[in-house]
Amino acid sequence: MSLYGMMRTGVSGMNAQANRLSAVADNIANSSTTGYKRSSTEFASLIIPSTTGNYTSGGVTTTVRTSISQQGDLRYTSSGSDLALNGGGFFVVQGPGGGSPVLTRAGSFVPDAQGRLINSAGYQLMGYSFANGIPSAAANGFGGLEPVIISQQELVAIPTSSGVFTANLPADAAIVGPTAVPPTQAASTNAAAATYTAKSSLLTYDHLGREQLLDIYYTKTADNTWEVAVYRQADATPGTSFPYADPPGMVGTATLAFDPATGALTTSPTNLNITIPGAPAVVGPPAIPALPAQQITLDLSSMKQLGTAYTVLDADANGSAPSGIEGVQIDDDGTVYAKYENGTFKALFRIPIADVESPDMLQVLSGNVFAPTGDSGAVQMGFANEGSRGKIVSGALENSNVDIAQELTDMIESQRSYTANSKVFQTGSDLMDILVNLKR
């Protein structure tokens, strides 16, 4: 056996244990780092072919593996913008200087001066915007992603686009209209002498967030048949309501039919379509841009006709007056909502979850982020709770998956192994001294 070979083998063993100690040092240093994934050192032998009667020592090589797929414990916080993944997958983030998106499990996000959600390493959270409708994930790449931005320095008005109205119409009410005795004028005629059976008002908002009350008239025109007529209250004649200014006059109408045996609504469709006319542009000075028409769909599907008085059971409409953003709320499906000062919510972004076939083969980069490699497989995008992807937990962070007791045990083992390998090197050096001094 070559003495030099024995000494080189001892050096190889010391290098291997030094690599292991380096991994242990990193693990202990990052034991409190959010989303950190533990690294471990695996050994493999290097064997050199030996001749009969002689053994040629080889060495040992090391491979560093990162336990990316092993989840850390969740720690709950008081910040709604802190995010954790309970299950598989990664958040998609982008560095402060742009570049290709990367993956992370570190979800300690806070808004910066521009409203972007930035984690402790300076990476900004990426998501799909609701600006063009309900988003869908690009299954095979990062296309369509943009920084999640929640600007709290603006006022936002949400026009009403839909609502619901549920009430009981009295089955025993008298008939109103041309078939009545004597004949009368129903609310849809917009005549000064128009009559009706019941009336309610519904609060809505226009494109500029101004309150807009709609007067809704219910008129029984025949047995089990009712007419619905809608007007803008601002167009009413002071003191008497009818007639309303024309144009626009009536902005929505529908006819409702009920089953005489059950009182259930039999009309189909059951929506009342309301069109609030816009306004043409005015050539200045001052110039006033055109105001588009406003479409509102009112759901009447739960209306009833029973033998009791007119009773409103439910009346609601979306939209809001101009209001600033008070905070952010993130659901477990990844939808980012802006919470306004008036208590309303608006969906702004949806946070995707990225996944790869072999997470442990991702390339580890500085900042607690990972990049795909040929061994990890291509990135596939999706949303929470789809396939092997986990659930997004708001107000929580994922701790590192480092076990301090295990790291200290590994450190002691490495120390002892390093000492033993140094003894091999020292023994080889002593034998070399003996060999050199044989001539003396």
Give the pLDDT score at 354. Answer: 93
Buried b / exposed e along 224-251 (16+ C-beta atoms within 10 A): bbbbbbbbbeebbeeeebbbbeeeeebb
Domain 160-318, what fold?
A: Tick-borne Encephalitis virus Glycoprotein; domain 1 (2.60.98)
Q: What angle do CA 272, 276, 282 make, to 5 degrees?
A: 165
Q: Which residues contact 152 (CB under 8 A, 6 or more apart)?
A: 111, 115, 324, 325, 326
Give the pLDDT score at 429. Answer: 82
Coil, helix or strand at residue 252: strand
Q: Where are the beta strands (DSSP E) in 15-71?
A: 39-46, 59-66
The pTM score is 0.69
Give the pLDDT score at 1. Answer: 52
Per-residue pLDDT of the chain (440 residues; tens, 9 = 90+): 577 778 888 888 899 999 999 999 999 999 999 999 999 998 888 887 776 767 777 788 888 899 999 999 999 999 888 999 999 999 999 988 778 899 999 999 998 888 889 998 899 999 999 888 888 888 788 888 999 988 766 788 889 999 999 999 999 999 998 888 888 999 999 999 999 999 999 999 998 889 999 999 999 999 999 999 999 999 999 988 999 998 888 999 999 999 999 999 999 889 999 999 987 777 777 777 778 899 999 999 999 999 999 999 999 999 888 888 887 889 989 999 888 887 778 889 999 999 999 999 999 999 899 999 999 999 999 999 888 899 999 999 999 999 999 999 999 999 999 999 889 888 888 888 888 888 66
Instruction: Show me where the domains of the chain are located.
Output: 3-67+401-439, 80-150+352-398, 160-318
Compute the distance between CA of residue 160 and CA of residue 427 in angstroms, rounded to an integer. 86
